[in-house]
Chain A
Amino acid sequence: MYERYSRQMLFAPIGKNGQEKLRAKHVLMIGAGALGSSNGEILTRAGVGKLTIVDRDYVEASNLQRQQLYTEEDVLQKLPKAVAAERRLRAINSDVELCAVVGDATPEMLDELVKGVDLILDATDNFETRMALNDIAHKYQIPWIYGACVGSFGMSFTIIPGKTPCLNCLLKSLPVQGMTCDTVGIIAPTVQMVVAHQTAEALKILVEDWEALRHSFVSFDLWRNQYSSMKMSRAKDESCLSCGSERTYPYLSRENLMKSEVLCGRDTVQIRPSKEGEVDLNELAAHLSSIHYEVKGNPYLLSIEMEANRIVIFKDGRALIHGTKDLAQARSIYQRLLG
């Protein structure tokens, strides 16, 4: 039965022993977009024991250029990504136990799903979920691998609770209004390069070759031809609220979460960001117009027309997502525009 893994077992640092370890491991992957598709495929082909996939979106035509698990048929059926991913991965390797969860990776859900998990793979598209994931990983002492990309720029960092600095040590707070794949685009090679870094580290962790881990924060720009490897030994912050000695896991508490509610009697969801802060409406409007979104506005708000929805964003970051009553979908649309 190990025939299919013969080449991987021939690779000395893995071997038969490593393959058996891999088969006994459970990976939780948050997100099944571009990073999730490629990470999921590599780990499934590699023969991980169990893979749990969480995603809140359904497959759309604009995903097909880079989200390698999905097909035109998935788009026609508007299949949830977690479901479509599970189907495709099962066809690739029926040995792997697959578990698809359709929904938003809230702190409550993460708390349920991490039980018995050996590694968390970050394939999400926003910092709010990543910071919650970072807190959960430290609460339960589970390694996780940060990966993110936009345009031709990508980055990855392996976080081992108790050993390395954490994401909150690096960022200190939730960055406001980041660049996203929906606003500045993304090319497939960037995704693959991030995934190559994530899955190599994942394999090291899963076969327990701790010595081989990378330790540096890697970032690269495949179009501007830049590579950087940043040493992180000075980055650990003892006062960090996520990994320090007086930790509170701030991103698991309600007040630090994005608030969303369906407005009574309307096909509209209101979103309030977790971090108060002025959004530069002029900059956002100029940028969205330049990439062919239909944007109208005044000094107080912007109105953006999308395929099925209209989004109104106010100066304080609050937004109304018209054309849906689905909270997870509304949060997804918001984070795709504002990061």
Chain B
Amino acid sequence: MNKILFFAHLKDEVGEENIRIDVAGRTVAEVKELLAAEYNLQKLDSAMTAINEEFASNENVIEAGDEVAFIPPVSGG
């Protein structure tokens, strides 16, 4: 099982701060695609991903028990 955390507007779009699903064995890119479809998230592909609070790229594979966080980059200033 994995815990998935959503930051900023993603949290509002999903309706929860975190969800639990089993995505072990899948890449970050695959999980983004899956969640974008499930929750109709427009800009999840450009979000940064952390696995266990460490930066992960789209090719990284998620393991059982990993905590995955999606953080959307912002440009305001």
Describe B's contact surface by its main secondary structure.
loop
Interface bracket on B: 20 to 34
Describe A's contact surface by its main secondary structure.
mixed
Kindly state the separation between the CA atoms of A87 and B75 in the bound complex, as whole angstroms: 27
Kindly state the separation between the CA atoms of A237 and B33 in the bound complex, as whole angstroms: 23
Interfacial chain B residues near A147, Cβ < 8 Å: 77
Interfacial chain B residues near A298, Cβ < 8 Å: none
Interface residues of A in 213-242 (CB under 8 A from B): 217, 219, 221, 224, 226, 228-235, 237
Kindly state the separation between the CA atoms of A45 and B73 in the bound complex, as whole angstroms: 30
Closest to A130 in B: B75
Q: Which of A35, A149, A180, A228 contacts B71 (CB 8 A)?
A: A228
Kindly state the separation between the CA atoms of A178 and B28 in the bound complex, as whole angstroms: 21
Quick check: is A161 within 8 A (CB to CB) of the other chain? no
Quick check: is B53 within 8 A (CB to CB) of the other chain? yes
Interfacial chain B residues near A150, Cβ < 8 Å: 74-76
Evaluate contact between A31 and B77: CB separation under 8 angstroms: yes
Kindly state the separation between the CA atoms of A35 and B11 in the bound complex, as whole angstroms: 25
Known: A149-B74, A230-B55. A175 touches B8 (CB 8 A): no
Q: How many residue-residue contacts, CB under 8 A, span A and B? A: 112
Evaluate contact between A221 and B8: CB separation under 8 angstroms: yes
Evaluate contact between A36 and B77: CB separation under 8 angstroms: yes
Kindly state the separation between the CA atoms of A180 and B8 in the bound complex, as whole angstroms: 13
Interfacial chain A residues near B54, Cβ < 8 Å: 230-234
Q: Which of A178, A228, A235 contacts B75 (CB 8 A)?
A: A178
Known: A148-B76, A175-B75, A179-B74. A234 touches B56 (CB 8 A): yes
Interfacial chain B residues near A268, Cβ < 8 Å: none
Quick check: is A49 within 8 A (CB to CB) of the other chain? no
9 chain-A/chain-B pairs, Cβ below 8 angstroms: A149-B77, A175-B75, A178-B73, A184-B9, A226-B11, A228-B50, A230-B48, A230-B53, A234-B54
